[in-house]
Structures are given as structure tokens and as C-alpha cells.
Amino acid sequence: MRQIILDTETTGLDPAMGHRIIEVAAVEVINRKITDRHFQRYVNPEREIDEGAKKVHGITELFLSDKPKFRDVLEDFLSFISGAELIIHNAPFDLSFLNQELQFCKRENIDSYINGVLDSLVMARELHPGKRNSLDALCDRYKIDNSKRSLHGALLDSRLLAECYLAMTRGQESLLISEVDNTAETDLSNAIERKPNLFVKRAERDELALHERYLEDLSGEIKENCLWLKKNK
């Protein structure tokens, strides 16, 4: 099973107000293992960044001035996430920005390219009702080192979220055993194929007669026909 842990950084909070993506990142997870493959791009939003957003991620207009536009990285991005399940913390936020960028590029919504979306924030709230379930709170709860997270960053946050998600779903490994490990079944099949040819020695006529006499004597002792004697008849 291929999953993509995804995060974005933006110029503000609302795409309806013209805010845009400035960073998109994704980390690959296959069969519950984080691989060494990831995607990360900074993009020029062609607009100013809200001061409140800068305090969260520290990204400035000057830093982004020579970066590509989202449309320039779109194909690489779609190729990386294609066919996977997306895992996003507070998914409606990121999806609204991604779908806006796709609309600007005259492309279909992101649902057309992926195999569903799992909102890890919703999952965390179900597992820990009434508690804080921000990414930092989850890292503290599951003992995941987030000491390098002085500011938000899409790639770092994706990696941290991947570890948090695996920690939150740790009991699900057994569900994947049949998909990723059929060693026991293979070993059993091999053992059956390797079984030795056994020599079968048939009973002689006098041995069968003795056995028949034994069953008759047994029937006399229990005052009822022996089950095996009935079966033989």
C-alpha cells in the first residue's frame, strides 16, 4: 500500500481571498515504512505574504522571487502523488489550496489523481478526544523528536506527521501481513512438496484374520458389535 504524507505552506489562510501555496512537500510511505523518496518545492506565489503567515513559516517574498511558479512544478508533483492515498493534517485546508492551484492550471481536482484522503487530525481527535492534537502535541504524545521545528516547514512537517501517523496506527501492522509477507505459506507449500515417499506394507491374510477375531472377542466383552467390526461389514 502506497501512502503520501503531504503538507503545504501558504501566503495566508484563505484561498478564496487570493492566497496561494508557497511550499508543497510530500513523503512516501509504502507498507507502513517511510521510504527515502520525497517531493519538495518552493514556489513563487506572485503575490505578497501575510505577516502572520511569515511568523509561522519564516518564508519571505525575497526568498521566493527566483522560485518557479506552481504550474512549473505541477507535473512532477502529480507524478509523485499519483495513485496514492494522501494523509494530511487538517486536510480541508491543504486540499482547498491545492485544488485552487489545479484550477488555475485548468486541471481536474486532486481527487482525480489519488486514491483517497485520510485526515490525520480527524483521526487524532477520535483517538484523543478533548486533548490538543496539533502536530507538536502529537510529537510530544508519541515521543517523536521535533526539536528542529522552530518554524513550520512543509517537508519537515510531512516527515514528522509520517512518524505520528505510524505511531497512531501501530496496531494495524497485522492487517498487512497477508499483503507483504507470505513466507509461512510458502514454507508450508515447500514442505509438502518435499515430503518423502513412504513405503506402505499391506497386512497379510493371516494378520487380517487375527484382527477380525480380536474385534469379535471385543464385541463379546461389550455385549455389542464393535464399531470397527460394523464398519468392516
Residues annotated as catalytic (active site), given as ranges: 152
- Bridge-based pairing state of the strands 21-30 and 2-10: antiparallel
Q: What kind and span of H or E run contains 30?
A: strand 21-30
Residue in 156, 83, 153, 95 with CA at minimum distance from that of residue 122: 95
* Rounded Cα gap, residues 106 and 46, in angstroms: 18
**CA dihedral over 149, 154, 159, 165, signed as positive or negative:** positive
4: left (phi over 0), alpha (psi -120 to 50) or beta: beta
Contacts of 43 (CB under 8 A, 6+ apart): 20, 21, 22, 23, 24, 64, 67, 68, 69, 70, 72, 73
Q: What is the crossing angle of helices 154-168 and 120-127, to 10°?
A: 40
